[in-house]
Amino acid sequence: MNTDIPKISDFPTGEENTAYAQYFTGKSWLAPLASNKNLNVPLANVTFEPGCRNNWHSHTGGQLLIVVGGEGLYQERGKSAIHLKAGDVVEIAPNVEHWHGATATSWFSHLATNGSPATNQNMWLEPVNDEDYQNGNRQIQE
């Protein structure tokens, strides 16, 4: 693990998230936390460096985010960004386009699981451009 990553939660940080790097702006880390195929509840901790966010995307089964450390942003298409901090839970309905990530100044970690994991598919779209990202950060400061 990169020793430059601050400890912002009790959960493992894992390894640099190279598999999904093509869908992220900035660096992220991924720690798988579940593996039991019979249980079939995927769970991972995703950690974002300050300024890091994922592309606009959606999930056919929906997604549930459990914020465990730092401060972040969540935005659905056409809505204002929401400020996230440890203890917040976000339910993302199936096929709703959205993005999530750290604020410009804070590290951020959330656990993530999906609805209908046996059939869920992720649809990755365009990056969140700097203007939209900065607008999201401004909204939470007002």
Token output for 10 = 């009790």
> For residue 106, which of 76, 141, 131, 58 has the smallest C-alpha distance?
141
Give the number of residues in contact with a copy of itself, rule: CB under 8 A.
33
CB 110, CB 47: distance < 8 Å: no
Parallel/antiparallel/unpaired status of strands 82-85 and 63-76: antiparallel
Nearest distance, CB of residue 131 and a copy of itself, angstroms: 30
Binding mask 82-121 for a copy of itself (x = CB under 8 A): ---xxx-x-xxxx----------------x-xxxx-----
CB 21, CB 49: distance < 8 Å: no
Please tell me whether residue 33 binds a copy of itself under the rule CB under 8 A. Answer: yes
Contacts with a copy of itself by CB under 8 A lie at 9-12, 33-36, 38-41, 43, 61-64, 66-68, 85-87, 89, 91-94, 111, 113-116
